[in-house]
Amino acid sequence: MSIVRTAKITIDAAYLEEFKAALKEGVETSVRLEPGVKTLYATLSKAEPTQFTILEIYSDQEAYEAHIATPHFLKYKATTQHMVKSLELTDCVALVPEMKIK
């Protein structure tokens, strides 16, 4: 069963460009290298440019656990830890699980 969640992240405005670069590198690497990562779709709020939302979809729990143990994820966490003011993870249920991201 797929793991679906959203991550809502608020960062310190002083680190906006640094955070965007680290996030971009992290999600691109994860999607490219990890077969169990279906998507990590990151967005930035137009109204509040320090607020990010990431839609995370993993093929299963094992894929998620493998993801958070990868060197690139651990690098992202270590690099951005001081930039993050808040992080909210919400587990979700796909309403149409057979839908594919084109």
* DSSP per-residue codes, 58-88: ESSHHHHHHHTTSHHHHHHHHHHGGGEEEEE
Tens-digit pLDDT string for the chain (102 aa):
899 999 999 999 999 999 999 999 999 999 999 999 999 999 999 999 999 999 999 999 999 999 999 999 999 999 999 999 999 999 999 888 888 776
Give domain status of residue 9, yes or no.
yes
Give domain status of residue 55, yes or no.
yes
Q: What is the model's pLDDT at position 67?
A: 98
Q: What is the model's pLDDT at position 97?
A: 80
Give domain status of residue 100, yes or no.
no
Give domain status of residue 60, yes or no.
yes
List the one residue out of 86, 47, 41, 39 whose CA is nearest residue 63. 39
Q: What is the model's pLDDT at position 58?
A: 96
Q: What is the model's pLDDT at position 40?
A: 96
Indicate the number of domains in the chain: 1
> Which helix (DSSP H) or strand (DSSP E) does residue 1 occupy?
none
* Six-digit token string for 24: 């971009």
Write the CATH number for 50: 3.30.70.100
Q: Which domain holds residue 81?
A: 3-92
Q: What is the model's pLDDT at position 80?
A: 98
Give domain status of residue 77, yes or no.
yes
List the one residue out of 88, 78, 84, 76 whose CA is nearest residue 21. 76
